[in-house]
Amino acid sequence: MDNEKLKMWLEEQLPKIKESLVIINNAPYHSKIINKVPTIINRKDQIIDWLVLNNIDYDPSVTKLELLQICQRHKEIQTYEIDEIAAHYGHKVLRLPPYLCIFNPIELAWAQVKTNKKHNSNSDQSLKIVEKITKAVDHVTPQHWQNAIEHVKRIEEVYHAKDSAFDKYLMSL
């Protein structure tokens, strides 16, 4: 998967789905940024161009580092390509925090797909990889999805309880 294939798939599939919340992880192809905030590697004129494009006031006599600080104060302006496509079709995107895939039910579904693909691959070596994956995906039932969602909800409850306990502890100090 890459960004271009994901965009094509979204353009094809999202119009078929009623408005929803699309939950995604931080895979690089999910995170291509539109209007990326300049960084230290940008030249001063590129930084100024970004500020002008975004109607952000600045003093042209300040240093490059000071301009970058202004940019950082406005980094919420940057958007993701995937978010824009989803919004076009009435969907919203929720990005999971990095390295917390335990909060994403699809990880459990993919684990099942990988297991089914492995079992199917031994029975018929002539199948192409796409056909194997399609067959494996067919084994993920609505009940599997419901179980994965409930599992994630239980994990969330544990994290909420730990967070509350930690807050209480901090307040008691």
How many Cα atoms are found within 13 Å in the side-chain-facing hemisphere of 7?
A: 14
pLDDT for position 126? 45
> Per residue in 92-105, pLDDT tens?
998 887 777 777 77
> Per residue in 118-137, pLDDT tens?
655 554 554 566 677 777 77
Proportion of the chain above pLDDT 90, given as a percent: 35
Q: pLDDT tier at 38 (50, 70, 90 boundaries)? A: very high
pLDDT for position 40? 95
Give the DSSP H/E element, type plus range, for residue 23.
strand 21-24
Which of 15, 60, 52 lies closest to 35, judged by CA? Answer: 52
Q: Per-residue pLDDT for 50 more than 90?
A: yes
pTM (predicted TM-score): 0.56
Q: Per-residue pLDDT for 161 more than 60?
A: yes
